[in-house]
Structure 1
């Protein structure tokens, strides 16, 4: 697995954010039984950075906590059976499936952790787990979809023993 992690702002977390990102990503991959080696990127930015990306790619001129950019279009979320048929999804140099990109808003992680009464570690891990599910085709546009995602996020974080404190 290849995870590119780039920081565009001061991070300052009290934990090893690169290790935690890789742990959550690996756990999500194992949890979903993703059958390929994977490649993805994680960018840590601030309100201005994520607002610029949000406006450019989604037409929404405001900051958010996290953005996910899946490279795979799934017929059914979590169904990886069609991936092998599409060579464009594989990095020709490594043979890894390119899952996509995750963009995290660091100041929002601190703010939301405080608002929700849990650690920044938990908020950071939660947003990565949430994004990984988006990279696997899951969404939360309906109550049923949201319920499925929430359950999977909870289970991924439970495997890692990352709780709400």
Structure 2
């Protein structure tokens, strides 16, 4: 996969994945148009998004699920929030990993936010998606 004219080194995501789960993760990096299509076909939402996660309903070869990250949104958000593309991908990856593990910030009582904050602090990353939304930042 090409990103900003360079190949993407995802070793930083492997470190996050190994710390968050002992299961394997499928990672798919896409552009905005592809993400729009996935969001429409899988969720019925006719717009793009930054990250999607698809947990497996049954254990399949020790695979937790699939994470899809929109690289166009990564670039936009990294510029907007003044941090690196690597930081933005890491934030999206952590957010999606928590969804794969059963957390849901739209229905829980703050558990996902707390768990996400723990991981973000652990990896010394900038503000999370949930905190951005809570603070009314454009996401």
Which one of 88, 110, 120 corresponds to residue 85 of structure 2? Answer: 120
Unaligned runs of 5+ in 2: 128-139
Whole-angstrom distance in 2 between the partners of 1:120 and 1:13 = 13
The CA RMSD measured in Å over matched residues stands at: 2.2
Which one of 76, 79, 103 corresponds to residue 111 of structure 1? Answer: 76
Number of equivalenced pairs: 127
Moved over 3 A (4+): 13-17
Name which structure has the greater RCO, CA cutoff 8 Å, separation 6+.
1
Distance apart, 1:15 and its partner CA: 9.1
- Of structures 1 and 2, the larger Rg is shown by 1
Corresponding position of 2:40: 55
Query: Retained in 2: the 8 A contact 1:47–1:105?
Result: yes
Corresponding position of 1:43: 28
Whole-angstrom distance in 1 between the partners of 2:74 and 2:116 = 16
Query: Retained in 1: the 8 A contact 2:31–2:70?
Result: yes
